[in-house]
A and B are shown apart, each in its own frame.
Chain A
């Protein structure tokens, strides 16, 4: 028996191959673990949360135990009007965009000073609503024995004089400074100890436009803008609901920004909401420039090529997600809202699916599944068929492929890489180009380079077809960022295909599946509906069932109220 086993032992090269094959996943596993260990994201999250809690506690416990009287003096306004004005002036020494305007109120026989910032303050509004009433009131009337003093005078000002809805009164220098630098107006009047903070910032905003990154033929032509208040208003304007909650957070250490966690109080899973809020609180960064920062800082697995938080420009999409029981994050200064959790299937859904009738909606959704597969595997399959398995190509096709590839000097991998990379460069260049040149660039790049490369015999015409189909398929993804990850993975598939052939493509697919099955987004498995499968939710997965059938919210998202229609 031993002899038989001995004679059937594989040769050394088979052993080597097997060894490499087994060691590659091991190495990937170890590397990922190393990188994860170096990241230490979760432990840092906990640390920061503890720190925040401690801060809270210390604020509650006693107001300001450590701050000395002198420092406190420095940070607050006093009775002394001149000193107060000087404090502000001192604070804005290097900021020449802060303007100062002095007034005199005859009625009080007092001077006053207004501080405001050029460009941020709505000057017409300020003239109309602050200066004019102030002057009218100050010059009118006979004089002041019956006028109250101090606190009463302050309240009278707020109640009777100011024509501004947002009027605050403060004693803190820092707070008023923050406000004035963000576009409010500060008013200080002799005889009133603190300062009034009037109005809200009114910067120039972009009008509401059709969202560029996610355009639909049918559906609202409304996209988010950069202003947070506009965006929240857009969500509110969808309809009257008393349950749409928006909790505000401040993110950013040096430059503070407002961030809103939006959800339906009576739908969203409280645990999910708490988890989102917890993760948002741990953001500890100089400035959060875009919601992409938030996305990357709070997502589950930063090593994965797949995005685990969906971004969108469309308020209707956000609303639909909220009504499913998901949570949205809006950030000031960006038109991209974040939706979480997300599964892979959701990446292939477009709002249009629901606006059109269900049959075309289902068909198009199915096409998207195919397009994703094509964009991931088409060049890899081309490589493996051509260089490993010519028997799998139909005879007539193989003859034409052979004749097409006669003059090509490169191996299939190099050939495919040349075209793939030039397509990616083209795409990138097309994105950066000014709009009028864009189409011209497309023609030069796509048509001329493609044709010339074939004529010059650098690539074969069949490959140009494969690459073109792949490129088009990768743009069929309704979520642009999801398409990008497929494009990245495509290169991996191509390399494995060139080394191991179809076997390598299958291995690649298996590894990808393993990774995706393991991936979670805010507690929801990434491949939900397929694995773990839930047949009840399949009404909205491969097909888009008629709306009449979708009576319940998706089960995979735990929510308080399962019924969506009667």
Chain B
């Protein structure tokens, strides 16, 4: 009987443990605020904040950054009676301060549900803010916070960054639009590879220069256009690559997965367009004594998709060769333009330093301290080989 009683006692203790201790750290999703995007600008207080501050809702801070935090508003779906389709799916909260972390926590005083960063997708930093504050200071919170994933995508905005988070398409969340735009890389050669948070950790530590995609926003639309350069040494904004420079950079890096290359036939003055199917590039560092130079070889395969010239005989190999050479020249000029810009801005974002490091480590050790400046004087030569494989049904004859 004694044994039996102790057994019963054991079960009782078990039940008490599991029921009285409660649910450790349980917090159902519907009680959380999902962050989707964060935009950081130079401090300008919103009217809301001014009102708050006037009424005494102030705390000691330097005014450096204005953060715009985007949260999801889940629709109330009460069974079949659906809500109106125009309903906003997100809301933005603006907060000004000098610490991203503190700003985010300050929001907890203004909403009922705690924000979580596990579904944060996009961070947009305005270029003017980056001129003042280096990137590593701005991103430190995102790297340190245990909620936020390293797959968060970084963008630069030459505009006010928070504009990119305003509603453009009804019923869609801007932060997700910005993230999903990069799925279109197959369609456009002017879109750089998306840059995740994890990708900038390395360059930030090694003081290398790199680029972030740039977003501009108009009243009703956003566009990912060009790229912003982050200078290696200072980690601040170092300049802007426009769309064709980005295109050239993509050719140099061989990172294209598709897109269009438009050339102009000098004989007819008409446009011809080449659809890129595959691109490979090979950079070779040539060291002769103290002289360093680079040789970039780019090869591509694709098809002619648009020829305005009606009389063009695409059956003839000579014509095709002619066209190929037009495109090759075009690529070379794009690449040269890009390198010129890079050298002007004294920022190697094309990965030339990396090539040198791998191919001539000894040389690299000598130049790596001041690479960005040295790079601005190094000659780069380009050669392109384009192969047209296909020309669609353009050659179908009438009969």
Mark A residues whose CB is within 8 Å of B.
Answer: 17, 20, 23-24, 27-28, 30-31, 34-35, 37-38, 386-388, 390-391, 393, 395, 398-399, 401-408, 411-413, 454-455, 457, 495, 498-501
A23 B6 Cβ-Cβ under 8 A: no
Interface residue from B10, B29, B78 paired with A30 (Cβ < 8 Å):
B10
A454 surroundings in chain B (CB, below 8 A):
79
B25 within 8 A of A: yes
Interface string of B77-109 (1 = CB under 8 A from A): 111100000000000000000000000000000
A-B contact pairs, 13 of them (CB 8 A): A23-B17, A30-B10, A31-B7, A391-B116, A391-B149, A398-B29, A399-B74, A404-B77, A411-B23, A457-B79, A499-B21, A499-B23, A501-B24
A412 B74 Cβ-Cβ under 8 A: no
Top 3 A-B residue pairs of the complex, sorted by shortest distance between their CB atoms:
A391-B118, A403-B74, A34-B7
B14 A401 Cβ-Cβ under 8 A: no
Mark B residues whose CB is within 8 Å of A.
Answer: 3-4, 6-7, 10-11, 13-14, 17-18, 21, 23-30, 32, 34, 72, 74-80, 116, 118-119, 121, 147, 149, 176
Interface residue from B7, B34, B78 paired with A407 (Cβ < 8 Å):
B78
Apart from A406-B75, A498-B23, A499-B18: 17 A-B pairs, beta carbons within 8 A:
A20-B17, A27-B11, A27-B13, A27-B14, A31-B10, A386-B29, A387-B26, A387-B28, A390-B32, A391-B147, A398-B34, A401-B29, A402-B29, A403-B76, A405-B29, A500-B24, A501-B26
Residue of B whose beta carbon sits closest to that of A411: B28
B28 A412 Cβ-Cβ under 8 A: yes
Residue of A whose beta carbon sits closest to that of B75: A403
B11 surroundings in chain A (CB, below 8 A):
27, 31
How far does the Cβ of B372 sit from chain A's closest Cβ, in whole Å? 38
B17 A34 Cβ-Cβ under 8 A: no
A395 B7 Cβ-Cβ under 8 A: no
A17 surroundings in chain B (CB, below 8 A):
21, 24
B34 A455 Cβ-Cβ under 8 A: no
Docked complex Cα distance between A307 and B25 (Å)? 36
Docked complex Cα distance between A117 and B18 (Å)? 61
Docked complex Cα distance between A401 and B357 (Å)? 49
A405 B23 Cβ-Cβ under 8 A: no
Residue of A whose beta carbon sits closest to that of B36: A395
B24 surroundings in chain A (CB, below 8 A):
17, 499-501
B6 surroundings in chain A (CB, below 8 A):
30, 34
How far does the Cβ of A163 sit from chain B's closest Cβ, in whole Å? 62
B147 surroundings in chain A (CB, below 8 A):
391
B29 A395 Cβ-Cβ under 8 A: no
Docked complex Cα distance between A34 and B176 (Å)? 58
How far does the Cβ of A557 sit from chain B's closest Cβ, in whole Å? 36
A455 surroundings in chain B (CB, below 8 A):
78-80
B78 A457 Cβ-Cβ under 8 A: yes
Residue of A whose beta carbon sits closest to that of B78: A407
B116 surroundings in chain A (CB, below 8 A):
390-391
A405 B119 Cβ-Cβ under 8 A: no
Residue of A whose beta carbon sits closest to that of B29: A390
Residue of B whose beta carbon sits closest to that of A454: B79
B25 surroundings in chain A (CB, below 8 A):
388, 501
B27 surroundings in chain A (CB, below 8 A):
387-388
A386 surroundings in chain B (CB, below 8 A):
28-29
Docked complex Cα distance between A390 and B120 (Å)? 12
Residue of A whose beta carbon sits closest to that of B1: A38
A399 B34 Cβ-Cβ under 8 A: yes
B34 surroundings in chain A (CB, below 8 A):
390, 398-399, 402
Docked complex Cα distance between A436 and B27 (Å)? 46
Docked complex Cα distance between A495 and B23 (Å)? 10
Docked complex Cα distance between A398 and B75 (Å)? 12
Residue of A whose beta carbon sits closest to that of B5: A34
A408 B30 Cβ-Cβ under 8 A: yes
Most buried by A among B11, B21, B77, B80: B77
A407 surroundings in chain B (CB, below 8 A):
76, 78
How far does the Cβ of B75 sit from chain A's closest Cβ, in whole Å? 5
B29 surroundings in chain A (CB, below 8 A):
386-387, 390, 393, 398, 401-402, 405
B23 surroundings in chain A (CB, below 8 A):
387, 411, 413, 498-499
How far does the Cβ of A409 sit from chain B's closest Cβ, in whole Å? 11
Residue of B whose beta carbon sits closest to that of A415: B28
How far does the Cβ of B141 sit from chain A's closest Cβ, in whole Å? 17
A34 surroundings in chain B (CB, below 8 A):
3-4, 6-7, 10
User: A37-B3, A391-B116 are contacts. A28–B14 as well, Cβ < 8 Å?
Assistant: yes
Docked complex Cα distance between A388 and B17 (Å)? 19
B119 surroundings in chain A (CB, below 8 A):
390-391, 395, 398
A393 surroundings in chain B (CB, below 8 A):
29
Docked complex Cα distance between A455 and B80 (Å)? 8
Residue of A whose beta carbon sits closest to that of B83: A403
B75 A495 Cβ-Cβ under 8 A: no
A20 surroundings in chain B (CB, below 8 A):
17, 21
How far does the Cβ of A534 sit from chain B's closest Cβ, in whole Å? 37
User: A31-B7, A387-B26, A387-B27 are contacts. A402–B14 as well, Cβ < 8 Å?
Assistant: no
Residue of B whose beta carbon sits closest to that of A28: B14
Docked complex Cα distance between A341 and B313 (Å)? 80
How far does the Cβ of A67 sit from chain B's closest Cβ, in whole Å? 42
Interface residue from B76, B118, B121, B176 paired with A390 (Cβ < 8 Å):
B118
Residue of B whose beta carbon sits closest to that of A391: B118
B21 surroundings in chain A (CB, below 8 A):
17, 20, 499
User: A20-B17, A386-B28, A501-B26 are contacts. A38–B76 as well, Cβ < 8 Å?
Assistant: no
B77 A406 Cβ-Cβ under 8 A: yes
B149 surroundings in chain A (CB, below 8 A):
391
How far does the Cβ of B286 sit from chain A's closest Cβ, in whole Å? 47
A387 surroundings in chain B (CB, below 8 A):
23, 26-29
Docked complex Cα distance between A407 and B10 (Å)? 39
Docked complex Cα distance between A498 and B79 (Å)? 26
How far does the Cβ of B110 sit from chain A's closest Cβ, in whole Å? 20
Docked complex Cα distance between A282 and B121 (Å)? 68
Most buried by A among B4, B30, B121: B30
Residue of B whose beta carbon sits closest to that of A17: B24
How far does the Cβ of B378 sit from chain A's closest Cβ, in whole Å? 44
Docked complex Cα distance between A455 and B78 (Å)? 7
B78 surroundings in chain A (CB, below 8 A):
407, 455, 457
Residue of B whose beta carbon sits closest to that of A403: B74
Docked complex Cα distance between A391 and B148 (Å)? 9
Residue of A whose beta carbon sits closest to that of B6: A34
Docked complex Cα distance between A388 and B25 (Å)? 7
How far does the Cβ of B20 sit from chain A's closest Cβ, in whole Å? 10
A399 B72 Cβ-Cβ under 8 A: yes
Docked complex Cα distance between A408 and B79 (Å)? 11
A501 surroundings in chain B (CB, below 8 A):
24-26
Docked complex Cα distance between A20 and B26 (Å)? 18
Docked complex Cα distance between A398 and B176 (Å)? 14
B28 A405 Cβ-Cβ under 8 A: yes
Residue of A whose beta carbon sits closest to that of B17: A20
How far does the Cβ of B28 sit from chain A's closest Cβ, in whole Å? 5
Docked complex Cα distance between A35 and B21 (Å)? 27
Docked complex Cα distance between A341 and B24 (Å)? 42
Docked complex Cα distance between A28 and B17 (Å)? 13
Interface residue from A24, A35, A391, A403 paired with B77 (Cβ < 8 Å):
A403
Docked complex Cα distance between A28 and B6 (Å)? 12
A406 B28 Cβ-Cβ under 8 A: no
A24 surroundings in chain B (CB, below 8 A):
14, 17-18
Docked complex Cα distance between A20 and B11 (Å)? 13
Interface residue from A35, A391, A402, A499 paired with B74 (Cβ < 8 Å):
A402
B28 surroundings in chain A (CB, below 8 A):
386-387, 405, 411-412
A38 B4 Cβ-Cβ under 8 A: yes
A402 surroundings in chain B (CB, below 8 A):
29-30, 32, 34, 72, 74
